[in-house]
Amino acid sequence: MDGLDDLKAKYLTAVAGVTDEGALEGLRVAALGKKGEVSALMAGLGKMEPDQRKAAGAMLNVLKDEIDAALRAKKAGLADAALDARLREEWLDVTLPGRPRPRGTIHPVSQVMEELTAIFADMGFAVAEGPQVESDWYNFDALNIPPEHPARQEHDTFFMHRAEGDDRPPHVLRTHTSPVQIRAMTEQGAPIRVIAPGRVYRMDMDQTHTPMFHQVEGLAIDRDISMANLKWTLEEFCRAFFEVDKVELRFRASHFPFTEPSAEVDIRYSNVGGQLRIGEGDKWMEILGSGMVHPKVLAAAGVNPDEWQGFAFGMGIDRIAMLKYGIPDLRAFFESDLRWLRHYGFSALDMPDLAGGLSA
C-alpha cells in the first residue's frame, strides 16, 4: 500500500513531540481510534482482492503495532517525568519523628494476676483452673462447709435455676476459688503446690463490694508443712508484690470451715499524705485469710490426712491491686471510662520477682 511509510513517520514524529498525556490521547484516537486513519485503512481491506488484502493487512498490522508501541512508551515516559517533577516539588523529611499514637495499658486486675503468678511461680507454685459454675459439693461440702452455714443461703450465693421436677444437685456460681483446690488435689494427689486465681461471685452489692470480683487462693500439701512455711510464703509474696524490703505480718486467730487452725493476716502500714506505705508505721490492715488445711478437706479430695498436711490462703485480687496502685475507688476497675485508670497514673506491665527487681 502506498503512503504507509509517510503515515508512520507522521505519527511517530508527532508522538515524540508530545509533552502531556492529553495530547497523547488525542494522537491515539486520530491514528488508532474507531474513526482513526489506520482504522479507516483496515476497514477498506474488505474491498480488495484476496492476495492484495493479505499483503496489505500484514503491513497495516505492523504499522498499527509500531504506532501503539510508540504511544505506550511515550505514556510511560510522561508518567515517569510527572513523578520526577512531583518528587522535586513535594519534599518529605523522613527523619522527623512519627506522630505519637495512644498506647493501651493492661487492666490493673489482669496486671496483678500476672504479677502474683510470677511471684508464686518463683516459689514453685503452678496455676490451677476450674469452672466458674460449680456443684454444691465442690463449692461447699468438700470444703467442710455445713448445710446450715450462712454462705449456703440464697441471700449470700447465686444458685443456678432449676426447673420444677429437676432433682439434680444444686449448682452455684462459685463463691471462692477453693473448689479448684479440691479438683487439683483429686486429679494430682499429694504433694502439690498450686495457686488458683479467677473470678468469684457473691451477693454483695454496696459501695465497697461488687457481686463479681477476683480472688487468688494458694495451696501447698506435703508431709512436713507447717504454719511457719505459710508465714514465710506470705512474707515473701508481700515483699515482692509491694516492692518493699521490710514486711511485717500479724496473724490473728480466726475460723474458717476449711482450715484448722485458721488465721486472718494483717500487714503493717502507714498513711502519709494520703499515700499508703507498706511495711512501716503503726497501723494494721487485714489483707487475707489463711490456715492449715482441715483434715476433712484433705479426705474429701482423696488425700490421706494421716500422711499429708499443708496450708491454704486466699486474698482478693481487686483489693491488693487497689492497695498497691493507690486506687481507692472500685469504679476505676468496672466503669468503662478509662479516665478513672489514667487519673490514678496506671502504667503498663512491670513484673516483680523475689529478688525485688522489675522485669518487663
Task: Pick out the residues of the known binding site for Mg(2+).
Answer: 260
Biggest CA–CA distance in the chain, Å, is 119
- The distance from CA 14 to its chain's CA centroid, rounded to whole angstroms, is 64
Residue 201: beta bridge partners?
Answer: 212
Tell whether the torsion through CA atoms of 81, 82, 85 and 90 is positive or negative. negative
- The C-alpha atoms of residue 223 and residue 234 are separated, in whole angstroms, by 20
Helix axes 21-32, 50-89, angle to 10 degrees: 170
CA distances from 171 to 25, 134, 136, 138, 350 (A): 79, 6, 5, 9, 38
| Residue 291 neighbours by CB distance under 10 Å | 24
Residue 352: beta bridge partners?
Answer: 358
- The C-alpha atoms of residue 180 and residue 198 are separated, in whole angstroms, by 10
Q: Is 88 left (phi over 0), alpha (psi -120 to 50) or beta?
A: alpha
The one-character DSSP state at 58 is H
Pair type for strands 283-293 and 309-316: antiparallel
Q: Summarize the annotated binding site as residue ranges.
A: 260
Cell numbers given for 300: 474429701
